Amino acid sequence: MYYIMTGVSRISALVGTRSVLAVGLGLSMACSVYAQDVTVSEKSFGCIRDGTKIRNTYIKNADPEKLKEAVRIFQNSVPDREYPVGTFLQLLPGEVMVKHPRQKFPDTNGWEFFALDVSTQGTKIRTRGDKTTNFQGVPCMSCHQPAAKFDFVCEKGHGCAPVPLDDQKIAELQAADPRCPKK
């Protein structure tokens, strides 16, 4: 303790107590940004239809308040607004976007793209990160980039190249998610 105190007071003498406090505060703020990050494993995924459906997309967030906010942003296509950390978006059972703090993936505002293998046994992660490619080898972000004003959420009319599936086919694939309980 003695050494720490003298160390601190020596630094304080050099740079002034206020900036030492500022550095300390900065560090603890950086920690808290990371503390609220979500950990995503294969167990984080399940039946796509457990989410809240808006138009073609299913939305999840473990925190009910954050889910409400994510649904609000999506429903109203709110521009220049980031989705809350922990938000999961899904169009197809095998593709997911998960929101982390933006520092984790600065190029995508924190979105992590997942390509999954899904079966009745559950979920296997094929690829993850901000450079993930789809089943045709096309980077997710190459299509989602034009929707930057909408936090990279494409929907229809946000400027993304369309997926090669009509709404009917998308609905069929969602209905056929093998992880969902059999009726």
Footprint of ligand HEC (CB under 6 A):
56-57, 89-91, 95-97, 113-115, 132, 134, 138, 140, 143-144, 153-156, 160-163
Expressed in angstroms, the distance from the first to the final Cα of the chain is 64
Whose Cβ is closer to ligand HEC: residue 20's or residue 49's?
49
Output the smallest distance, CB 20 to ligand HEC, in A: 44
- Distant-in-sequence, close-in-space partners of 66: CB < 8 Å, separation ≥ 6: 84, 85, 86, 87
Strands lying side by side in the sheet with 111-119: 52-54, 57-60, 88-92, 95-99, 111-119, 122-129
Whose Cβ is closer to ligand HEC: residue 148's or residue 180's?
148
Cα 47 to the chain's mean position, in Å?
18
Output the smallest distance, CB 94 to ligand HEC, in A: 8
Output the smallest distance, CB 153 to ligand HEC, in A: 4
